[in-house]
Structure 1
């Protein structure tokens, strides 16, 4: 199963839209989904591992797939 991890932050103005996007998409497609706050130890670890410099960042199966909010068709192509 595809694993989607969204790195987000409370101070980010775009992050709520990204969170809504992935949660809505999850109601249409079956994939493993996790949200990680950038300002947590886990967020620090992922930020260092993937050299994340901005949020929201979406990691799919261990690779950065999107920065910002992706288009639906593009996202579907990555998780199908």
Structure 2
């Protein structure tokens, strides 16, 4: 039963608890440390783009959630005007 509870807790964080800005600090579950969103995004993208399997950021579900949430929040920042 303990394993099911752990999976439910780590499945997906509520949007309110997600870091919003690159300088926001959150608890990284893979590294068990406080990290900034910027650190997370850089290391997650590098680990997966270059298949660096030794890093805890490779295929990290929390890193994926952070990247998706950050990308969705940035959609409104682009006005679409290319001149």
Under a length normalisation based on structure 1, what TM-score does the superposition of the two structures give?
0.22
Structure 1 or 2: more helix by fraction: 2
Structure 1 or 2: more strand by fraction: 1
Under a length normalisation based on structure 2, what TM-score does the superposition of the two structures give?
0.22
